[in-house]
Amino acid sequence: MSDERVRIMTWVTEARTAGARQSKACQSIGISAKTFQRWVKPDNQQDGRLDARHDVSNKLTELERQRVIKVANKPEYAALSPSKIVPLLADKGEYIASESTFYRILKSEKQLQHRLQSKPVRSVNKPRALKATAPNQLYSWDITYLPTRVLGLFFYLYLVIDIYSRKVVGWQVYEMESSALAADLMTDICQQENIERHQVTLHSDNGSPMKGATLLATLQELGVMPSFSRPSVSNDNPYSESLFRTLKYRPEYPEKAFNNLATVRAWVKGFVHWYNNEHLHSAIKFVTPEQRHKGEDKEILVKRKCVYQQAKSRHPERWSGEIRNWDKVGEVFLNPEKQKEVAA
C-alpha cells in the first residue's frame, strides 16, 4: 500500500473519530466514499493493477518471434515489406506468421521504417467503362518526359501496359513526341502478342500524339479500338500514371539527367525487366505481371491458399477468422459506370 493511501485513510479515520461524516471527509480530501470503502477492505490493501497479468494464450513463442525477425532481415527480404515477404514465403511452402504479426514485431524492433531507399508512393486513384477478363484485351499507354543534360530538352518514353496483367507489353524511348513513332510501337506490339482484329482496346489521354492521324489510321488497320480520357480530366488514365510513378520513384532512378539515348534506353530496359519479372504487384495478389500474363498466377495462388490452410490447421487458435483471400483477380475495370461501382 502506498504512503499516500495510508495518509488519506488515516485522515478520514481521524475525521470520523472527531464526529465528521465519512462521505464529507472523503469529499474534502478529493476521493469518493466508494473508493475509501474499497481501500479499507482487508483483501484490497494493494493496488490491483500492480499484480495484473494478461497473458495471451495464442501468442508466438520467443523462438518464433526471433525467427520472424531473422527472416525479415535476410538479404532477399530485407528491402521488402511484410505484405510481400509473407506471399514469397508461401510460394516456398513456408508460413511463419501473418502480415499483421510481422508488422507488429518489426514495429517493436523499430524496423518498420521504409525498408528500401525509395520514396513513398502516393495513393493511386480508383479506376473508373472498360473491362478486361484476360490478357491482351485492354491496353493503356502514355508518354512521360525523361530529363537530358540540356535544360529544357527531354527524352520521351512511350510505354504500353496491359491493364489486366499489368505487364509492360511494349516501350520505346525517342527524342520527340510523334504519332508516327507511336504507330510503329503499336504495330510491333500487335505482332509480338499475336493480336487479332478487334481484340484489344487501347486507352490513352488526349495528347496530340495519341490523337494523331498516323496513329489512328494504324490502329484502324490493326483493328485496335482507341479509347480516350475525358477532356480536362487528369486521372482517367490511372494505370499508366501509376506505372510512371513507380518508374520515377525507383531507388535506381538516376539523380542526374541521362547522357544520351543509349543510356536512357538501357536504364528503361532494366526497369521493364524488373517490373515484369520480379515486381510483386499488390493489385494482382502479389504475383509478377509476367506470371499473370502467362496465366501462371492461378497455380501460384492455389498453392498459397493451401499453405495458409495448413498453417491454420496447425494453430487454429491464432486465427480470428478465415484465411487471407488468395482467389485470383478475375476482372479489371477502367472507368466503370457508376452502377458497376455500386455493385462492386
Dihedral in degrees, nearest 10, Cα atoms 291, 69, 80, 134: 30
Alpha helices (H) along 40-166: 62-72, 82-91, 99-108
The percent of residues above 90 in pLDDT, for the chain, comes to: 60
Q: What is the reported pLDDT for 207? A: 86
Cell, residue 188: 510491333
Q: What is the H or E stretch that residue 158 is in? A: strand 154-162
What are the residue ranges spanned by the domains of the chain? 3-49, 62-108, 130-284
Instruction: Categorize the per-residue pLDDT at 342 as very low, low, confident or very high, splitting at 50, 70 and 90.
Output: very low
* Mean local confidence (pLDDT), 227-241: 78
Q: Is the confidence at residue 343, as pLDDT, over 50? A: no
Fold classification of 130-284 is Nucleotidyltransferase; domain 5 (3.30.420)
Q: Which residue has the higher pLDDT, 5 or 183?
A: 183
Q: Is the confidence at residue 107, as pLDDT, over 60? A: yes
Q: Is the confidence at residue 22, as pLDDT, over 90? A: no
Q: What is the reported pLDDT for 5? A: 79
Q: Is the confidence at residue 312, as pLDDT, over 90? A: yes
Cα distance between residue 6 and residue 14, in whole Å: 12
Q: What is the reported pLDDT for 195? A: 96
